[in-house]
Amino acid sequence: MKTYFFKDYKDYNSADFAIDYQSVDCFATGTLIATPGGLRRVETLQAGDLVTTRDEGPQVLRWAGHVHVNARRLDQQPNLRPIRIAANSLGPGHPKRDLVLSPQHRVLVRSPIVQRMFGVYEILVAAKHLVTLPGIEVMTPPHGVGYHHLLLDHHQILCSEGAWTESLYLGPQAMKGLPAAARREIMALFPELKTAEFRPPSRRRLLDGREGRRLAMRHGKNRKHLFDADKTMAGQRLLSV
């Protein structure tokens, strides 16, 4: 199956797409994704390609989508503006280069503060909840932004620009935020999504907005990195709860 490209955002007038697209996690055009064959620009990846995951090594990309959100739409709907995570702002080498994500895209946070607050060492938090911290800010690209989605058989954690971030998570809000054509194609791949009660498991615990903002505040107050690579924490991973 080939990569699915959508038209420019301005060409869509679907209400759910215009309102809820903020709920979908996306990489900006140009983001470098780790694969077994080396770094690849996200826009070059297609269904069938292998990407490197944190927990299960190389995994097959099942679906890839893309949409361009033009500058006018970003001006009208500021909640769609991308978040820039500057190099080293999560911790040394995390990310290695500036990383640009959609507001809802979750990044892996790993620190003793996470363990004290939530009882696990690693969690996933939306980029938009971290903007109070140095080096993490909302962008207003003058020419709009290209957003790319990467979907695997299961929710995974990918390496993007040297930082760990999630693959497309098909929770109810994310599905509502995708255009109808994308939903149909994804449901053909994963028929279980047609069941209203189905909730795909997440690779780590997903923080809500209040939890994410509290976590950011605690790290800022204590001047601690969001990603702690301390060897004493090596191997301390838990699956989602």
- Exposed (0-12), middle (13-18) or buried (19+): which is 235, by Cβ within 10 Å? exposed
Mean pLDDT of 116-141: 97
- Per-residue confidence (pLDDT) for residue 25, from 0 to 100: 81
pLDDT band at 200 (very low <50, low <70, confident <90, very high): confident
- Per-residue confidence (pLDDT) for residue 13, from 0 to 100: 31
Lowest mean pLDDT among 111-115, 169-173, 181-185: 181-185
- Per-residue confidence (pLDDT) for residue 124, from 0 to 100: 98
pLDDT band at 9 (very low <50, low <70, confident <90, very high): very low
pLDDT, the chain, mean: 84
Mean pLDDT of 11-16: 33
Q: Where are the alpha helices (DSSP H) in 24-157?
A: 71-76, 112-118
pLDDT at residue 238 greater than cutoff 90: no
Backbone Cα Rg of the chain: 17
Lowest mean pLDDT among 129-138, 143-152, 198-207: 198-207
Helix (H, G, I), strand (E, B) or coil at 226: coil
Q: CA 105, 107, 136: angle at the middle one, nearest 5?
A: 85
Mean pLDDT of 105-124: 97
- DSSP E strands: which ranges in the chain? 4-8, 27-28, 32-35, 38-41, 50-53, 57-69, 83-85, 99-101, 106-110, 122-126, 136-138, 145-152, 157-160, 163-166, 205-206
- Reported as half-sphere exposure (CB side, CA atoms, 13 A), residue 202 has a value of 20
**162 closest CA partner among 46, 31, 59, 51:** 31
**144 closest CA partner among 15, 13, 10:** 10
H and E: helices and strands count for the chain: 6, 15
Mean pLDDT of 36-62: 97
Q: Selecting from 2.40.128.20, 2.30.30.360, 2.170.16.10, 3.40.50.300, what CATH number does the domain 27-222 have?
A: 2.170.16.10
Mean pLDDT of 47-75: 94
